[in-house]
A and B are shown apart, each in its own frame.
Chain A
């Protein structure tokens, strides 16, 4: 499958994050570019895997501008200026973020929350209502639109959180472990949501973490393994990128899961175990 890459969408350089004296992640460098396939709107799907506590969530909070890096920077494409390859430092709110617990406003019902997410959009109230209705229908949330988060199931909360972010932020969406604690139906829903998002705009970029390596290999076109690096034969105690697999390069992206994918799964598992 042929493809090419254009504008840089995400540029991370020498990123490190510490809490107090404890360095959680360090020396993180990577670049992700807009992927172009002729006759196809192709967004980017980037997966991060790694064992617990290696700093995936911390990295995501830095990517979304929710925590200040101790060093280094995160740049995203500035699509508002119209200039090609214009970049800016990421700020809180620029990148959508759905956390591990699918946090919502505890005092807002589903439709109130979605209305809130649209508050800064310059469209009339009627247009907002139509849009909300459309999404509620499409995402199967009509029945629960007047319920509060504590009256929703995990899947419903997650879908509400995703729509909120679609409404509010630009082309980027970060999801921390979007597949954990969901049943098969919900997992399919999230996969469909990924497809919908990536098919709706060239720049749309999904970044997610998962403990399900098969799901990373199946969905992503770029996979990073976060782990403790080995320095002179000893494991360090901060997380960094220990392996990168570009699924596009090896011709496995946008394909049904097959034997070649299994091989990649094995490689990733090995990389995880040794870090």
Chain B
């Protein structure tokens, strides 16, 4: 028992499971107890459950699909843009551009949406591009550090095998780091997810998870809000899991 409180102590698989179970039970019990009185911070499990079934009947699945589709579109565009910048950052003339794009992540959201509204009329396109701009800055940052983390020896190795410079870029940076790109996307996914609420309030008619939250918010329906949070959390975690799984199965050499 005392061992469980010792730093760096290795525990067996069963013990680990028990520890997780212990925490889950603790959290759930806390939830029940804390939501019993008259005034409480969290809605009770029953409220959340009703919230959930209400949402389901109002077409939760469609909203989830709408959000996923929006994210997917934005991610694909953002990944393409950031990859181009990150790969070309190995060229001296392009490097400052890539660095600048990465620094733009310090811009406040309003700055970007303001100019995008001037440029884009269509609300759906607008949603996509707000996400794209945001994701690109973060993705570019991570991809740039991925590129600069490649040891000089790997470039030298390719060069010593008579690779031309463009071939070095192709073999070492592009082909040699595909698995890292997947990992970078996975780690930055949470950012789109976070932006979802803001972005979906641009075009309410298109619906989506973010829109649903906003809506429940208005009516102070706590049960629904928590139910939605849980849905969003799980959808996000599933994508996270899938990407990680893809990386590990398709790239046997990938130990990140």
Contacts and interface: CB of A to CB of B under 8 A. Distances in A.
Interface of A: 61, 64, 66, 92-93, 95-97, 99, 101, 103-107, 116-117, 120, 148-151, 161, 164-165, 168-169
A168 B151 contact: no
Interface stretch (B55-63, B159-167, B223-231): B159-167
14 contacts: A61-B156, A66-B159, A93-B159, A93-B162, A99-B153, A103-B157, A106-B154, A106-B176, A106-B253, A107-B175, A116-B161, A149-B253, A164-B161, A165-B161
Given A66-B156, A93-B161, A99-B157, 5 more contacts: A92-B162, A93-B162, A103-B153, A107-B253, A169-B162
B183 interface: no
Given A105-B172, A105-B176, A107-B251, A92 B159 contact: yes
A103 B161 contact: no
Contacts, number: 62
Interface string B156-191: 111111110000000110011011000000000000
Interface in B9-33: none
Contacts of A168: 160-162
Interface in B121-177: 151, 153-154, 156-163, 171-172, 175-176
Interface residues of B, number: 21
B159 A105 contact: no
Given A105-B171, A106-B253, A107-B175, A120 B162 contact: yes
Interface string B213-256: 00000000000000000000000000000000000000111010
**Dominant secondary structure at the A interface:** loop
Contacts of A96: 160
Which of B157, B176, B251 has the most CB atoms of chain A within a 10 A radius of its CB? B157
Contacts of B176: 105-107
Contacts of B153: 99, 101, 103
Contact of A103 (B154, B162, B171, B255): B154
A120 B163 CA distance: 10
Contacts of A169: 160, 162
Contact of B158 (A64, A105, A151, A161): A105
Which of A61, A92, A93, A168 has the most CB atoms of chain B within a 10 A radius of its CB? A92
Interface of B: 151, 153-154, 156-163, 171-172, 175-176, 178-179, 251-253, 255
A97 B161 CA distance: 8
B140 to A, nearest CB: 23
Contacts of B171: 105, 116
Which of B159, B161, B162, B251 has the most CB atoms of chain A within a 10 A radius of its CB? B161
B160 A148 contact: no
Nearest to B163: A93
Given A93-B162, A120-B162, A168-B162, A104 B157 contact: yes
Which of B154, B156, B160 has the most CB atoms of chain A within a 10 A radius of its CB? B160
A116 B160 CA distance: 12
Contact of B252 (A64, A99, A148): A148
B253 A64 contact: no
A74 to B, nearest CB: 15
A149 B252 CA distance: 11
A92 B175 CA distance: 21
A89 to B, nearest CB: 16
A93 B253 contact: no
B249 to A, nearest CB: 14
B251 A64 contact: no
Contacts of A151: 253
A105 B253 CA distance: 11
Nearest to A167: B161
A17 to B, nearest CB: 14
Nearest to B153: A103
Given A103-B154, A105-B171, A150 B253 contact: yes
A104 B179 CA distance: 17
Contacts of A149: 253
B236 to A, nearest CB: 29
Contacts of B172: 105
A95 B162 CA distance: 9
Contacts of A97: 156-157, 160
A220 to B, nearest CB: 22
A157 B153 CA distance: 14
A101 B153 CA distance: 8
